[in-house]
Amino acid sequence: MKVLVIGCGGREHMLVKKLNQSARVTEVFVAPGNAGIRAEATCINIAIDAIDELLRFAKKEAIEWTIVGPEIPLANGIVDQFRAADLNIFGPTKAAALIESSKDFSKTLMKKYHIPTARFQTFTDSNQAKLYIKEQGAPIVVKADGLAEGKGVVVAMTEQEACEAVEQMLESNCFGAAGAQVVIEEFLIGEEFSLFAFVEGEAVYPMIPARDYKRAFDGDQGPNTGGMGAYSSVPDVSEADLEFTTETILKPVARAMVAEGRPYTGVLYAGLIQTVSGIKVIEFNARFGDPETQVVLPLLENDLIDVIEAVNAGVDPKLTWRDGYAVGVVVASSGYPKVCQKGVVLPKLPETIDGYLIQAGTTFDDQQHLVSNGGRIFLVGSVQKTLAEASEEVYRYLRNIDQMDNFYYRTDIGVI
């Protein structure tokens, strides 16, 4: 079976590793991939948003399954186009991907179907938004409605900060059309976790929870990033918490999407927070998360293609999970998330690791040196019996890398 993966980050590298373990997969293609993926799959030079070209490629190569990593092609309707051409593709349609591509849509849906989430209101008028902020007081959260590469959320500690965020989005159009509406919501306090589920219509098959570290520096300091590391499973998320999340959040939202005429298929990502008044939704994403995928998939025992085919056929994929914990730590360019110097030669990576290496923003320069090509460069992961052992193994490896001057990583991932 030939499989096509769309994307170029760490998530896609992990998907490739998992697909290469499948007895049924003969060749994995990745559009466009990265330097690490090149060693494990056939990279093709097609951009993630060039849907017509991707479609032509999938037809020409007789690809049996296409798996979409990032949100942009989903929001642009890649699933609709592939299905119209009778090609198998795993992900939500454009209408269903709206659960990620419009925060107003997702919040309104949750309100209508009584799915627990922060109180909110949506605005297009800057003055009205600012009045609401003054009424509600700070801290308060301002979110651009549309896709903004994870940069569209401002957790404002003061009313002034919140008003400035509104001005930037609604008056200065800093996110273009994605910021033409803003959602302003209640600030929630608690520990966050992510839970992915395979979904087909009303059928929901949750994976195991993961915890992502969004801030750049140790102790959750510094700016928000795409994620500096993750671990799975999460000891402080109990079986009862998972049951609650499945029954009051995941299943109701899947039913809601069917009721709204937007049946969901693919991986649904729930970003959750454990507040004093229970678990609530921070956001939904229409895809696997990054870097959580790099710690969830190493624990999945099933063949990923079997899972996708079962889910697609409406059959329980009977997910089984390895005992133990996975920890993944991201190594990023020193200026990340503000500036990412590209073309910096990567340090030499020691070969002995009781774990795995995942590449993200990497490429080869003209002299065939492995160089940086983005903010998050690579991830070091390990699966061990305990969270502490997994974390220790990853940090033991990282401490053995020389020439890390142009890169940095957090030193507290999975250290609890």
Return the biggest CA–CA distance within the chain: 60
For 6-38, letters b (16+ CB in 10 Å) and e give bbbbbbbbbbbbbbeebeebeebbbbbbbbbbe
Q: Of 359, 113, 382, 125, whose CA–CA distance to 256 is shortest?
A: 113
Of residues 81 and 194, the one with the C-beta less far from ligand GLY: 194
Pairing of strands 42-43, 27-32: parallel
- Which residue has its beta carbon closest to ligand GLY? 289
Any contact of residue 104 with ligand AMP (CB under 6 A)?
no
Minimum CB separation from ligand AMP for residue 199, in Å?
A: 19
Which two three-digit tokens encode residue 75?
Answer: 């929001």
Alpha helices per DSSP H over 1-124 = 10-20, 35-38, 51-60, 71-75, 78-84, 94-101, 103-112
Beta-carbon neighbour count of residue 288 at 10 Å? 25
Alpha helices per DSSP H over 167-214 = none
Q: What are the backbone angles phi and psi of residue 44, rounded to the nearest 5°? A: -120, 145
- Among ligand AMP, ligand GLY, none, residue 188 binds (CB under 5-8 Å by kind): ligand AMP
Tell me the window of 18-26, 140-148, 167-175, 287-295 that interacts with ligand GLY (CB under 6 A): 287-295
Interface characters, 188-207, with ligand AMP (x: CB under 6 A): x---x---------------
- Among ligand GLY, ligand AMP, none, residue 337 binds (CB under 5-8 Å by kind): none
Q: Of 356, 335, 353, whose CA–CA distance to 344 is shortest?
A: 335
Minimum CB separation from ligand GLY for residue 10, in Å?
A: 10
Of residues 43 and 228, the one with the C-beta less far from ligand GLY: 228
Minimum CB separation from ligand AMP for residue 3, in Å?
A: 29
Minimum CB separation from ligand GLY for residue 117, in Å?
A: 17
Of residues 192 and 218, the one with the C-beta less far from ligand AMP: 192
Any contact of residue 9 with ligand GLY (CB under 6 A)?
no
Any contact of residue 133 with ligand AMP (CB under 6 A)?
no
- 216 vs 209: CA distance, rounded Å: 22
* Crossing angle of the two packed helices 94-101 and 251-259, in degrees rounded to 10: 130
Any contact of residue 314 with ligand AMP (CB under 6 A)?
no
Which two three-digit tokens encode residue 262?
Answer: 């937007």
| Cα 187 → chain centroid | 22
Q: Of 325, 106, 343, 302, whose CA–CA distance to 232 is shortest?
A: 325
Any contact of residue 222 with ligand AMP (CB under 6 A)?
no
Minimum CB separation from ligand AMP for residue 12, in Å?
A: 20
- Among ligand GLY, ligand AMP, none, residue 227 binds (CB under 5-8 Å by kind): ligand GLY
User: Which member of 214, 287, 376, 410 binds ligand AMP (CB under 6 A)?
Assistant: 214
Any contact of residue 43 with ligand AMP (CB under 6 A)?
no
Of residues 129 and 296, the one with the C-beta less far from ligand GLY: 296
Q: Of 125, 68, 130, whose CA–CA distance to 94 is shortest?
A: 68
Beta-carbon neighbour count of residue 150 at 10 Å? 13
Tell me the window of 177-185, 285-293, 318-326, 328-336 that interacts with ligand GLY (CB under 6 A): 285-293
What does the binding site for ligand AMP look like in residue numbers (CB under 6 A)?
A: 118, 141, 150, 153, 155, 185-188, 192, 214, 224, 271, 282-283
What does the binding site for ligand GLY look like in residue numbers (CB under 6 A)?
A: 212, 227, 285, 289-290, 292
